[in-house]
Amino acid sequence: MTKRKILVCGGAGYIGSHMVQLLLEEGHDVVVFDNLSSGHEEAIKGAVLERGDLLRPEDLEAVFARHKIDAVIHFAALIAVGESVERPDLYYRNNVTGTLNLLDAMRKAGVERLVFSSTAAVFGNPQSELIDETHPLGPINPYGWSKRMVEQILADYATAFGLRSVALRYFNAAGAHPDGLIGEAHYPETHLVPLVLFTAMGIREKLSVFGSDYETRDGTCIRDYIHVLDLASAHLLALDYMDSHEGFHSFNLGNGNGFTNLEVIETAKRLTNNDIPYEMTARRAGDSAVLVADSSRAKSELGWKPKFDDLETIIETAWRWHHDPKYGPFAGSKK
């Protein structure tokens, strides 16, 4: 393993903080760049924090001037599909313009490697049972389009400037670090697994399930859930992959298994031994009925091997963190 100095943009967020811990465990030096608008400083354990904003180029230039960075892992983005439909201006400005600012700063500093946090939302409505990298790209919401635009930018920068980059298209990130020290904490929370667990804890009176009339086995959306540490391990492998692969590359990351919203609720009820009241509500704009990954390319080319590849384990690690009074999302000042 080559020891590197890695800049993690959005490293105080959910996936970013797990990435930081894995990089540190593997012996890398880590610098976190985050505006802390949705991330949490207490989630950064052992890395240097540089507080700044992607929309301020001077912040980025200062970080690259202070640190000799070998590669960048870029998580910083707005991520709520529904909000992106209501406020596309925010999503294009933050996710696209912010990334362009980052790429400009990287070029000035001579940094030529980037791992990009992309999404299954670049595919839109699926045209096959499993989605691989050859599936047509057709986002159906501004969030997906913002990520698709960045992927195109990365491909163009590879051709024009020699940038090496890997886009990792996540399906549904879930779970928490098995040690229980860090987990998923968005305010407000929009993701299904933590919302289900908040309801199991009695923090929420009931859960809203968006849409009961999809063409699925129980009428609710089907999603492919992937453990956050398995996502982080793919980023680590992507850093090595770029050593021997020029240009832009994309990989889909998921388990290849889809679960309906109601199946997630029932699994959580069984694991927590708590009731989880819910109500069926209208569909959300921009939601696809089914999103399930074919990740065979990541396994064959990156050597990626998910370790937490069943829904029960994913939810169990999330539950361990969520109801921990010391480290969970409502610990300390967050109560």
pLDDT, tens digit, 9 for 90 and up, residues 187-229: 566 678 888 888 998 888 899 999 999 989 999 999 999 999 9
What pTM was computed for the model? 0.88
Q: The tokens of 253 are what?
A: 């990351």
pLDDT at 329: 60
Q: Which residue among 92, 143, 170, 225 is the active-site one?
A: 143
> In this model, does residue 65 exceed pLDDT 90?
yes
So where are the chain's domains? 5-174+226-253, 192-223+256-334
225 counts as catalytic: no
In CATH terms, the superfamily for domain 192-223+256-334 is UDP-galactose 4-epimerase, domain 1 (3.90.25.10)
The answer on pLDDT for 186 being more than 80 is: no
Mean pLDDT value of segment 243-251: 97
pLDDT for the residue 184: 66
Dihedral sign (CA 14, 248, 48, 231):
positive
Same fold, 5-174+226-253 and 192-223+256-334: no
Give the three-class secondary structure for 136: coil
SS3 assignment, position 259: strand
The architecture in CATH of the region 5-174+226-253 reads 3-Layer(aba) Sandwich (3.40)
What pLDDT, on a 0 to 100 scale, did the predictor assign at position 189?
63
- Pair of tokens at residue 328: 């969970």
Residues 31 and 6: beta-carbon distance below 8 Å: yes
